[in-house]
Amino acid sequence: MVDQLRGKSAIVGVGHAGFGEAPGFSAYDIMAQSALAALDDAGLKLSDVDGLFCTMMEDAMPVLMAAEYLGIQPRYVDGTMTGGSSFVNYLTSATLALQAGLCDVALICYGSNQRTASGRLVTASKLPPYEGLYNPRYPISAYAMAAARHMYEYGTTREQLADVAVAARAWARHNPEAFERDALTREDVLGARMVGDPLTTRDCCLVTDGGGAIVMVRADRARDFPKAPVYVLGSAAASSHRQISQMQDFTVTAARDSGKRAFAMAGVTPGDIDVVELYDAFTINTILFLEDLGFCAKGEGGGFVADGRIAPGGALPVNTNGGGLSCVHPGMYGIFTVIEAARQIRGDAPGLQQDNVELALAHGNGGVLSSQVTAILGAASTV
Which residues in this chain contact another protein in the complex, by CB under 8 A? 129-131, 133-137, 141, 144-146, 148-149, 152, 193-198, 243-246, 250
Helices (H) and strands (E) in the chain, counts: 13, 11
Least distance to another protein, CB of residue 144, Å? 4
Least distance to another protein, CB of residue 141, Å? 5
Closest C-alpha among 219, 231, 233, 227 to residue 44: 227
Least distance to another protein, CB of residue 340, Å? 30
Beta strands in the chain (DSSP E): 9-20, 51-54, 76-78, 106-112, 194-196, 199-200, 209-218, 230-239, 275-278, 359-366, 371-378
Could you tell me how many residues make up the chain?
Answer: 383
Peptide bond into 198 cis (omega under 30): yes
Least distance to another protein, CB of residue 367, Å? 15
- The secondary structure element, H or E, covering residue 287 is helix 283-292
Peptide bond into 139 cis (omega under 30): yes
Closest to another protein by CB, 137 or 223: 137
Closest to another protein by CB, 250 or 263: 250
Closest to another protein by CB, 3 or 249: 249
Least distance to another protein, CB of residue 44, Å? 45
Closest to another protein by CB, 45 or 137: 137
Closest to another protein by CB, 248 or 356: 248
Least distance to another protein, CB of residue 153, Å? 9
Instruction: Write the Ramachandran bin of 155: left for phi over 0, alpha for psi from -120 to 50, otherwise beta.
Output: left
Let me know: does 365 contact 83? Beta carbons within 8 Å: yes
Closest to another protein by CB, 130 or 315: 130
Beta strands in 21-119 (DSSP E): 51-54, 76-78, 106-112
Least distance to another protein, CB of residue 342, Å? 36
Closest to another protein by CB, 149 or 181: 149
Query: Rounded to the nearest 5°, which phi and psi values hold at 48?
Result: -80, -20
